Amino acid sequence: MRRTGASWSGFAGLLLACATLAATGAPSYLPKTWQTGDGLPVNVIVAVAQTADGYLWFGTEEGLVRFDGVRFTLFDRDSAPALGESCVRGLAAARDGALWIVTCSGTLFRHERNGFSRAGAAGILGKGPLCPVLEDSRGVLWAGTEGRGLARVEGGAISLLGPETGLPHGAVNDLCEAGPDQIWAATRGGLALLEGGRVSVVLTSREGLADTNVLSLAREAGGALWIGTAHGGLHSWDGKVLRTIDGPGSNVNALRFDSEGRLFAGTSGAGVRLVEGSRTVVPPGLEALSAALVQRLLFDSEGALWVTTTGMGVTRATRRRIMMQTSAEGLSGDIVLPVYESRSGDLWAGTAGKGLNLLRNGNWTRFGRAEGLSSEVIFAIGEDAAGRLLIGTSAGLDVMEHGRFVPFKAGVSPSAPPSRGSSSRATGPSSRGPTPAVSSSSRMAPFPASR
């Protein structure tokens, strides 16, 4: 995502707030929020998924929304008639790069490059406000229903596992894979483990659950299962002992582990919480979400946390730490003037007489007169509407074309730049939306696929 370049005149070296590098100690986060004014159709988002191509997908009552880091694209009954309706209540990324979608009527769809296709009969999953969807490691799709139990989709066939099979309740709130052909199902009446399609373990108040309305699940690397409830807080279960964690009394709607094993909880009215030992705290930097009604959480492979809410849109929270960059780390000079992050995520730093520097994948690359710059004294950095890099030097304005800099031609006015977070309506079910002109390396997928 693009951010305004900052400038420090005569600064010795460069201080970077590194959002994508792991920090030591307690994490601190830098949030960025998008709402209807930024291009979302509504501020209530009930589902989120990320496909292998890097796109973020959001489920709303106004349609399916795709986000490329710059622009929101809406798929609804008008722009994607194959869906038949706009309201989406469940999403899951498929292992082959496709997207599974559950609409509010309970119909299951699959989205691929060639558009949308329906899987199974219309309304087979039944109506309901939310629908947890999970594709397991074997490629079997599982979907929770509001009263019909758990749906299993394999080889094009859909079967329903209801209370008559041993599920404690027909309303399924969340799903979590425990192992090959092992699925935990969080229901309104307790927790069940299905092995080979049959219920083998059930946890209810008899086993110590403070509340049998289980809303969320997450499994840590060591195997312990974490259980979020409606009114009984947070529990962990290691297969033998059920432990209760002191935390907010509000609904624990979502649970997710980050890449370092920290557990985050999304709640109703207490925002995002971080589990520390036997208590939960607000993660530093996310205080603005402390009163949010959180619907879903998702981590991408860079460690960014995505938070979808009711009424507050979607927030991306990135880890940050302060890192000093000087000539010892590869900068061409220690007097840094303008600093700019491009739409594609590249960081550019201009110096007072030592040229221009590009930070990509942790390495600095220098550009100077040999690469076409009119001067190596850099005063300003930016982009035009076409995504071309513009460099203001002491000898005039240069523009990057085909990897080299040439003087900017006066009288050629670039078109108006696209607004940040602008929305567009898809032109058809297979539309990939307008492509912003950024470097070829971004490929319209600035967010790495989630774990």
CA distance 50 to 44: 18
pLDDT recorded at residue 266: 95
pLDDT recorded at residue 189: 96
Name 256's bridge partners: 264
- Asked whether 238 and 229 are in contact (CB, 8 A), the reply is no
The two structure tokens encoding residue 4: 């305004």
pLDDT recorded at residue 13: 57
The low-confidence residues of the chain, meaning pLDDT below 50, are 1-11, 17-25, 414-422, 425, 427-451
CA distance 168 to 189: 5
pLDDT recorded at residue 422: 46
Using alpha carbons only, how large is the chain's radius of gyration in Å?
Answer: 24
SS3 content of the chain, % helix, strand, coil (to 5): 5, 50, 50
| Domain boundaries along the sequence of the chain | 3-14+322-407, 19-319
The two structure tokens encoding residue 266: 């999304």
pLDDT recorded at residue 172: 96
CA distance 31 to 197: 41
Residues of the chain above pLDDT 90, percent: 58
The two structure tokens encoding residue 386: 């076409």
CA distance 325 to 416: 34
Residues belonging to the chain: 451
- Determine the 3-state secondary structure of 335 from DSSP: strand
Closest CA to 429 of 57, 115, 87: 115
Between the CA atoms of 279, 280, 283 and 289, what dihedral angle is there, to the nearest 10 degrees? Answer: -160
- Asked whether 370 and 384 are in contact (CB, 8 A), the reply is no
- Asked whether 11 and 335 are in contact (CB, 8 A), the reply is yes
CA distance 421 to 34: 7
The amino acid occupying position 146 is E
CA distance 325 to 209: 51
CA distance 424 to 40: 10
pLDDT recorded at residue 342: 87
Q: How open is the CA angle 282-308-436, to the nearest 5 degrees?
A: 120
pLDDT tens figures, 203-255: 999 998 989 999 999 999 878 999 999 999 899 999 888 888 865 567 999 99
The two structure tokens encoding residue 16: 């970077």
Closest CA to 436 of 424, 423, 410, 418: 418
CA distance 424 to 71: 7
Dihedrals phi, psi of 328, to nearest 5 degrees:
-65, -25
171: which residues sit within 8 A by CB, 6+ positions away?
Answer: 128, 144, 145, 146, 147, 187, 188, 189
pLDDT recorded at residue 70: 85
- Determine the 3-state secondary structure of 57 from DSSP: strand
pLDDT recorded at residue 250: 72
The amino acid occupying position 450 is S
Dihedrals phi, psi of 234, to nearest 5 degrees:
-120, 140
For every residue of 412-435, which 3-state class applies, written as one string? Answer: CCCCCCCCCCCEEECCCCCCCCCC
Closest CA to 342 of 413, 422, 441: 441
For 19-319, give the CATH class: mainly beta
Q: Within 13 A of 410's CA, how many CA atoms are on the CB side?
A: 1
CA distance 268 to 412: 53
Closest CA to 373 of 339, 401, 336, 411: 401
pLDDT tens figures, 9-34: 344 556 554 433 333 345 788 899 99
The two structure tokens encoding residue 412: 């050629």
CA distance 169 to 233: 20
CA distance 46 to 331: 45
